[in-house]
Structure 1
């Protein structure tokens, strides 16, 4: 895996953990309204997306089709928070409360699984050649599936910052 992607995965995850580490469990699970996710749920969603992405990439690697698929503007789409996206059921977070440390452990586990999995791919060039259908992008090259993990996380870090501001304003 190239260094830039690795650095982006690492830096984004560190930023996420920094945002949540000092929260109390009450703040972590507090919802601004019934239709919005708590910070804990946002983080659980990120764990589920990372795990689902590993499965999708693994599935894509088994595909025989090697026709070059169109590159998508992952950053433009995901970082535009004016456009709301509905999470597919498979990556919707649990409604039960979480502890901050519990989520940090889940985040660490899913990231470790991702890195171990990516390290098993001997020929990384295959990631550009093969693709799998993504719920938001359609056919997405496998290397862009990796990119969307940290870009999607950056999107939600901004959401977490907003929730924290609203939580602070309430107290």
Structure 2
């Protein structure tokens, strides 16, 4: 895994935390409408996705058949006009959250993710094996890592949008 990926993971997470740090409890848990997640729920979803990604990569590494799938253009994820339905496993809780508890969860999940990746001795195998992604189909394992920060960038934009919608209501 290159420095670029590490830098992107770090920078994206920092941008996310900057967006939420100064929010009040009400802003953090407010929903612009009943069909939208709160900022807290978006963040909880990101924690769950990071945890699910560890499982997906672990399962992909255990697969015996080395099906090298074609590489996907992950930047399509940044197109927010294309909507995805979150699989149940990564749907956030409806309970309200404290900002600091979510920041702690984000910190923990990132630490676990990086620790998990550091246990993979031969990183080249990540490009050779794949695992089925719920939105993108069969995905090479190294692209599972990339989708973490692109997915997070997508949701950071969503958070900015929710903030604007909430501000407009007051």
When normalised by structure 1's length, the TM-score is 0.98
Q: Provide structure 1 residue ranges, at least 5 long, that are not aligned to the other structure.
A: none
Q: Aligned residue for 1:169? A: 168
The whole-number CA distance in structure 2 between the counterparts of 1:121 and 1:25 is 39
Q: Provide structure 2 residue ranges, at least 5 long, that are not aligned to the other structure.
A: none
- Matched positions, count: 170
Aligned runs of 1:45-124 on 2, under 5 Å?
45-76=45-76, 78-124=77-123
SS of the equivalent of 2:127 reads helix
The whole-number CA distance in structure 1 between the counterparts of 2:136 and 2:70 is 10
- Residue 66 of structure 1: how far off its partner (Å): 1.6
The whole-number CA distance in structure 2 between the counterparts of 1:60 and 1:162 is 35
SS of the equivalent of 1:87 reads coil
The whole-number CA distance in structure 1 between the counterparts of 2:29 and 2:144 is 29
The whole-number CA distance in structure 2 between the counterparts of 1:55 and 1:24 is 33
The whole-number CA distance in structure 2 between the counterparts of 1:137 and 1:18 is 29
CA RMSD across the alignment: 0.7
- Residue 67 of structure 1: how far off its partner (Å): 3.0
Q: Aligned residue for 1:132? A: 131
- Residue 84 of structure 1: how far off its partner (Å): 0.8
Residue 142 (str. 1) matches residue 141 (str. 2): yes
Q: Give 4+ residue runs of structure 1 displaced > 4 Å after superposition.
A: none
